[in-house]
Structure 1
Amino acid sequence: MKRPALRRKVAQLSTVVAVAALALTGCSRESGGSPAPFAAAKARELTWAEDLRISDAEQRLIARCMARQGFRYWSDGSLSLAESRPVGYVQDDVRWARTYGYGSRIAAKEDRARLRNPNIAYRKGLPVDRRAAYDTALDGGRKTELLRAGVPGGGSVSKRSGGCDAAAQRTLYGDPATWFRLDSTASNLRPLYVGKLLHDRRFTAAVHDWASCMKRAGHPYPDPDAARQAARQHPAVQSRAEEARSFAAETRIAVADATCARQVSLKSVGRDREAHYLDRLNAEYGTQLDAYRQARQQALARAERLVPARA
């Protein structure tokens, strides 16, 4: 049986999400001591490429830490920078769509990488006692501290915090418990406003304009999600020729989707309306979001000293 904590690590390698990107659009510190406190100035939102670099740095730190514990750990670099790009509800990069469609081949590549993940095979091949030591080195094992944090709208989330996992986060973000609370807040705000955004008059008008554009292009779909679902309507198992035909159809729809999104400025309208609804939450969550952005800016500065930008 694959260990849940290790499965989470594998998933984290291929999924990078920035809180400000429109979801509808898609050991102690190594040098010793503790990280500096958050800067006072308001930090900007990071790009998805910068977020990916932080993720790569975290994996590098975990690998180094595991090596010091006498274990091997492989960082994942199976996707290129372009392939790692998040694809949300609105995608208006025509060139990307022409090459990758909606990303079905990228998803298949990720699935293959997960199935062949060397960390899972390596752990499975260890003797039982070494396997337990591996688990403890990686995330503290079953007896490690369990972090808990409340999330906007009610409820809570939890995660283990120990071993090299916690050490890497401490190097990048500072106190893992503080970072977990900030990340849990920032990553769970969208349910508070996404319903309002989807029914926002300006946004729905832009989606209507997009649908009219798509209809003229020969793709009569009411919204981007419907277009994407249509591109996925094919058998789960396909021959090479069938997959090529499916991908060609996916690409045609995706290119038209991106072209129409650009023509009606759907992404900019969506971002503007998202900012509007986020502003309404500022009184309750603004301080935490500012601290979250500062922590990410701090992590990026440290990541830039650890790993190059992915090509």
Structure 2
Amino acid sequence: MVLTDVRTAGGASPRTLLSVRRAATADRDYAPHRGKWVFMKRMCAAALVVTAALGVVTTGCGPQERDAKQPGAERGNSADSKQLRELTDAEQLRIADAQQRLIKRCMTRKGFDFWEAERLSLEESRTLGWVTDDVAWANKHGYGSRIDAKHERARLTNRNLAYRKGLSDERRAAYDKALDEGVEAPVITAKVPTGGTVRKRVGGCVAEAERQLHGEPVAWFRAEKTTMGLQPLYVPQVMADKRFASALVSWSRCMTRAGHPFRNPQEARQAAVEQGLKTGPDKAFEAERKLAVADATCAKNTSLRSIGNERETYYVNRLRSRYGSDLDTYARLQLQALARAAEVVEPRT
């Protein structure tokens, strides 16, 4: 069964390399072959909702760091494509919150209690991406370890866990069926660009909420999986791009001058994680904060993030001749979900 506990959901951004949330454990790679630019995070699941043990979080990747007023890259030459754009952090979160609200309404209608996931503030919920150049945010939150800890505490004290546990066997089975139908839920499939097929069970209130936001489940699932599946096709090209590689070298030199000799942002974040394992929380956070400030400052001074964004857009657009329709469908359904979410919940602040 599934308990959705979403901070950033509503699906992943069509361009997701720069959108993976901050790293929080010590097993991340700076590895394009994994289909992300970088930091595989528990908050970045490929599917909007995946089946997991009770209480395990399921999410999509949030959008890359983007000002709410920035329209996003154009995705083609058609008039329709030019009207499409990526969603901002705030917009992705609104879809996630709407999904929670719709699940709650559905479960209430079926005779069960359901508590929406605890919401972090908009500032706390932002995505950092593979590198951030927001010095002020880094100065306040470092790489976000305290925010991650706050979210983890909320997950572990999820009221839905205790509620379900307190039900009789018969009622618990009915609860599971109402929520997502479990193993009896219908299965939908989608082919991914790199080959193979992915499957997803869609049932119960979780499926109803998704349908109310994104529309027909199969169309949404296939557009999402195709979009996310493009990453292995263009990530290696971005990583090998001369402009990006040059900016990364400049970033590394800047960090070395600041006393932090790292080759890439992932190494810096990895060092912060390892430091946190060796020292007390207060001392570790201060070291994390200082390192994150240097990281963001060097990224800003070398334009690393903006160059990465630009080169990513370039290589994604080269795939449009084959996958443009899927990219447009994905963006259109996201915007549709946002419009519907706006009728359900207020935006986070």
Aligned counterpart for 2:331 among listed residues 274, 293, 304: 293
The DSSP-based 3-state class of the residue aligned with 1:45 is coil
1:261 maps to which residue? 299
2:146 maps to which residue? 105
| Cα distance change on mapping 1:99 and 1:227 into 2, 3 Å | same
Q: 1:138-287 alignment to 2 at 5 Å?
A: 138-234=179-275, 236=277, 242-287=280-325
Aligned counterpart for 1:48 among listed residues 89, 94, 99: 89
Q: TM-score, normalised by structure 1?
A: 0.88
2:55 maps to which residue? none
CA deviation profile, 1:261-292 (whole Å, cap 9, x unmatched)? 01111111001110111012111111011011
Indicate the RMSD between aligned Cα atoms, in angstroms.
1.8
CA distance in structure 2 between the aligned counterparts of 1:219 and 1:45, rounded to whole angstroms: 34
Show structure 1 runs of 5+ residues with no match.
Answer: 27-39
Larger Rg belongs to:
1
| Cα distance change on mapping 1:15 and 1:109 into 2, 3 Å | farther
Confirm whether residue 305 of structure 1 aligns to residue 346 of structure 2.
Answer: no
The DSSP-based 3-state class of the residue aligned with 1:234 is helix
Contact 1:147 1:158 in 2 (8 A): yes
CA distance in structure 1 between the aligned counterparts of 2:327 and 2:204, rounded to whole angstroms: 27
CA distance in structure 2 between the aligned counterparts of 1:236 and 1:135, rounded to whole angstroms: 38
CA distance in structure 2 between the aligned counterparts of 1:302 and 1:156, rounded to whole angstroms: 30
The DSSP-based 3-state class of the residue aligned with 2:112 is coil
Q: Which moved more, 1:247-256 or 1:225-234?
A: 225-234
CA distance in structure 2 between the aligned counterparts of 1:254 and 1:156, rounded to whole angstroms: 39
Contact 1:25 1:267 in 2 (8 A): no
Identity of aligned residues (%): 50
Aligned counterpart for 2:156 among listed residues 102, 115, 118: 115
| Cα distance change on mapping 1:14 and 1:106 into 2, 3 Å | farther
CA deviation profile, 1:6-32 (whole Å, cap 9, x unmatched)? 3xx23x445674232524487xxxxxx
CA deviation profile, 1:143-199 (whole Å, cap 9, x unmatched)? 120111111201222121111111111111111121111111122221222122112
Aligned counterpart for 2:106 among listed residues 46, 49, 65: 65
| Cα distance change on mapping 1:235 and 1:99 into 2, 3 Å | closer
CA distance in structure 2 between the aligned counterparts of 1:110 and 1:15, rounded to whole angstroms: 15
CA distance in structure 1 between the aligned counterparts of 2:144 and 2:263, rounded to whole angstroms: 21
In the TM superposition, residue 49 of structure 1 has moved relative to its aligned partner by: 1.5
